[in-house]
Amino acid sequence: MANTMQVDLVAPERKLASVQALEVRIPAASGDMTVMPGHAPVITTLRPGKLTLVTSEFDQDYAVTGGFAEISTDGVSILAERSLPSAEFTQEMHAELVLEARRAHEEAHPSAADITGKFLADMEALGSHMFG
């Protein structure tokens, strides 16, 4: 079995990465998951977090804020709503995202407070993952 798989990371505005990877660590909604070649086909949503691409030459981290990942037999495609390579992701951007999430949480309908609260917590945790 091939030991690499095709991974595409796309944002609405551009394609961020399209590489042959050994593994990819995805911040899935229900917990982090590591995908390696030959993974069972899964579609999952993403929570804000750190996504790591591991290739034979380098490891690359990306900050993602949401979206979904489609893991199929021919590869992985990750559709991230907002995503940046870790080098381009700054403390200020993170602060802004947290502020946005907090505002959404405060304005949210009580019935949605669980979801927005979790989103806020994930967003805050993203900082410690990326800068820690």
Partner 1 sequence: MPSLKDLKNRISSVKNTRKITKAMQMVAAAKLRRAQEAAENARPYALRMNAVMTSLAASVGGSDSAPRLLAGTGKEDRHLLVVMTAERGLCGGFNVNIAKKAKAHAAKLRAEGKQVQILTVGKKGRDALRRELGDLFVAHVDLSEVKRIGYVNAQEIAKDLLQRFDNDEFDVATIFYSEFESVISQVPTALQVIPAKFDAPEDDASVSSLYEYDPSEEEILADLLPRGVATQIFAALLENGASEQGARMSAMDNATRNAGEMIDKLTIEFNRTRQAAITTELTEIISGAEAL
Query: Which residues sit at the interface with partner 1, rule CB under 8 A?
Result: 8, 10-15, 28-30, 40-45, 67-68, 70, 72, 77, 79, 81-82
Nearer to partner 1, 56 or 79 (CB): 79
* Shortest spacing between CB 102 and partner 1, in angstroms: 17
Nearer to partner 1, 16 or 130 (CB): 16
Q: How many CA atoms lie within 13 A of 56 on its CB side?
A: 5
Minimum distance from residue 52 beta carbon to partner 1 (Å): 19
CB atoms within 10 A of CB 116: 18
